[in-house]
Amino acid sequence: MTSPPPLERRPTRAELAAYDGATVDDLLADPLRLLFVGINPGLWTAAVNAHFARPGNRFWPALHRAGITSHVVDASAGLTAADRRVLAEAGVGISNIAPVATARADQLSAAQLSEGGDRLRRLVAERAPRVVAVLGVTAYRQAFGRRQAAIGRQDDDFEGAELWVLGNPSGLNAHETVETLATWYRRAAQAAGVALLDVGPD
C-alpha cells in the first residue's frame, strides 16, 4: 500500500486509522553501535514517522534514565532534527521486527513476524551494529523460533552482533517500569560502547 504522508503534529483519533499498514523509516546511525528493535510500529508512530511516539510508551523516558539521552525525547509529533542528531552521535538506531503498522502488536501474523525477522537479519548483517536489543521477548520467540528465550543477553550472536532481548516498553506491559527498562538499556548500551551520561534524579 502507499502510506499517507507523515503528519507534522500529534495525530487525532480519527486520523490514526489511515495509517494501518503504513511503514516507518528505520533510524540508523553511522557508525551504528546499538540497534534497538521494536515489535512493529503502532498507528501513532506511523502517523508521525517516529518510533515509540505514542504518549505513555516508556521507551524515551527509559532511554533518558539509562543515560543515553540528556533529556526525555518527546516523539509524539515526530522527532526533531536535534533529537535525531543526539541519537546519531551516540551511535544509537531504531528499527522493528515487522515494519508494518497495526493498532496492536497481537494483530501481526506469524508469517509477518517471520518475514520481519529475515529482514532484520539482512539489516544487521549490512549495518553491523555492536549490539542488537530486541524489545519484546514474546515477539522475539515467535519471529526467531527461540521458544525458551529469556530477558537479557543471549548466548548466540545475531548476524555478528551481540544480542539482547529486553522488555517491551509499551505502557500495556505491566511487567516493566521505566526504571527496570532503563537498567537493561544501560547494560546493553555499555556493551555497545555507547558513551553514557550520569543522569541524576529528575
How does pLDDT run across 125-169, given as a tens digit for each residue?
A: 999 999 999 999 988 998 898 888 999 999 999 999 999 999 999
Is residue 13 in a domain? no
pLDDT at residue 107 greater than cutoff 60: yes
Q: Which three three-digit cell numbers place residue 94?
A: 531504531
Least confident of 88-92, 167-171, 185-189: 167-171
Give Cα 131 distance to the centre of its chain: 13
How much is the average pLDDT of 24-35? 96
> What's the pLDDT score for residue 10?
87
Distance CA(30)–CA(159), nearest Å, equals 18
Is residue 17 in a domain? no
> Residue 75: which CATH number?
3.40.470.10
> What's the pLDDT score for residue 119?
95
> What's the pLDDT score for residue 74?
96
How much is the average pLDDT of 11-32? 93
Report the candidate in 109, 133, 107, 110 with the shortest Cα–Cα distance to residue 120.
133
How many domains, in total, are found in the chain? 1
Share of the chain above pLDDT 90, in %: 75
Domain of residue 31: give its range.
23-192
Is residue 10 in a domain? no
Per-residue pLDDT of 31-68, as tens digits, reads 999 999 999 999 999 999 999 999 999 999 999 999 99
Per-residue pLDDT of 72-84, as tens digits, reads 999 999 999 999 9
pLDDT at residue 184 greater than cutoff 80: yes
